[in-house]
């Protein structure tokens, strides 16, 4: 059995749980080393106490999942567009070269969120095949209230081709969202318990499964 080195790229804390909690848990259960990189951790208007609390939440999430290691670039949310792209590429590129993952999960380029779009472009810039031959797969996950609110216009749409059975992990996915009470909303919000379950159920029945997470394949190289 081949063990993988997996990297989860996260624009905002909670994206990893909304987008691929079950898949992360499945990788870890299979013996894969899973690393996580958070680009942002707090909003500008947060007090120092609130920012400290966000750092503590990220640490709790790390412990709950059992990541091999996690990285926090500590940028501020909703401000990635004020940072030179070369600085983002430099910061994230060093982590990619250090970890050398062969599977990367990231947000896609169709999300209605400026930070998500910037992170997507940064990931793709840092993983050009000639620079990162160790990266064999790049998969985009969907984020409730970002991906699903990008209404298809013929150019922007999330078209998943890869589905992961998370039936065994759906309860943990919901449980882990409680780390992020501020982002965990009431129904009918997409980030509510009902919204998260409904999306997982829809993706599941699309693939003859009970619950699933869906991904868009950005790169898949077999050697």
Rounded to the nearest 10 degrees, what angle do helices 170-177 and 15-29 cross at?
Answer: 140
pLDDT at residue 39, rounded to an integer:
99
Tokens of 180: 């992020």
Measured in whole angstroms, the distance separating CA 195 from the mean position of its chain's CA atoms is 17
Domain that holds residue 191: 5-220
Residue 62 pLDDT > 70: yes
The tens digit of pLDDT for each residue in 170-179 reads: 999 999 999 9
pLDDT at residue 160, rounded to an integer:
96
The tens digit of pLDDT for each residue in 83-92 reads: 999 999 999 9
Residue 151 pLDDT > 80: no
Q: How many CB atoms lie under 10 A from the CB of residue 56? A: 10
> What band does 150 get if pLDDT is binned at 50, 70 and 90?
confident
pLDDT at residue 156, rounded to an integer:
64
pLDDT at residue 210, rounded to an integer:
99
Q: Give just the sign of the alpha carbon dihedral 191, 193, 197, 200.
A: positive
Lowest mean pLDDT among 4-18, 51-65, 152-166, 175-189: 152-166
Domain count, the chain: 1
Maximum distance among all Cα pairs of the chain, rounded to whole angstroms: 50
Residue 1 pLDDT > 70: no
Alpha-carbon span 62 to 207, nearest angstrom: 30
Q: Give just the sign of the alpha carbon dihedral 53, 79, 17, 135.
A: negative
- Contact in structure between 28 and 65 (CB atoms under 8 Å): yes
Q: What is the DSSP letter of 2?
A: P
Alpha-carbon span 212 to 194, nearest angstrom: 15
Question: Domain containing 43 — which CATH number?
Answer: 3.40.50.10320
Query: Which residue spans within the chain are E strands per DSSP?
Result: 5-10, 33-43, 69-77, 103-107, 137-141, 162-165, 212-220
Residue 80 pLDDT > 70: yes
């Amino acid at each position: 059995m081949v063990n993988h080195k997996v990297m989860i790229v996260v624009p905002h804390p909670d994206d990893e749980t909304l987008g691929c909690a079950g898949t992360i848990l499945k990788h870890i259960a299979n013996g894969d080393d899973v690393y996580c990189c958070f680009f942002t951790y707090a909003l500008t208007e947060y007090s120092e106490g609130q920012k400290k609390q966000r750092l503590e939440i990220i640490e709790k999430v790390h412990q709950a999942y059992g990541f091999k290691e996690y990285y926090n670039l500590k940028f501020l949310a909703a401000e990635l567009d004020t940072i030179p792209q070369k600085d983002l590429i430099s910061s994230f590129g060093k982590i990619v070269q250090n970890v050398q993952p062969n599977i990367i999960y990231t947000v896609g380029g169709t999300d209605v969120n400026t930070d998500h779009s910037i992170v997507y472009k940064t990931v793709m810039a840092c993983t050009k095949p000639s620079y990162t031959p160790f990266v064999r797969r790049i998969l985009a996950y969907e984020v409730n209230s970002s991906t699903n609110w990008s209404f298809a216009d013929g150019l922007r749409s999330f078209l998943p081709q890869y589905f992961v059975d998370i039936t065994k992990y759906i309860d943990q996915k919901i449980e882990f969202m409680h780390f992020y009470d501020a982002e965990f909303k009431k129904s009918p919000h997409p980030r509510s318990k009902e919204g998260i379950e409904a999306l997982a159920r829809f993706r599941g029945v699309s693939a003859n499964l009970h619950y699933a997470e869906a991904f868009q394949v950005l790169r898949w190289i077999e050697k």
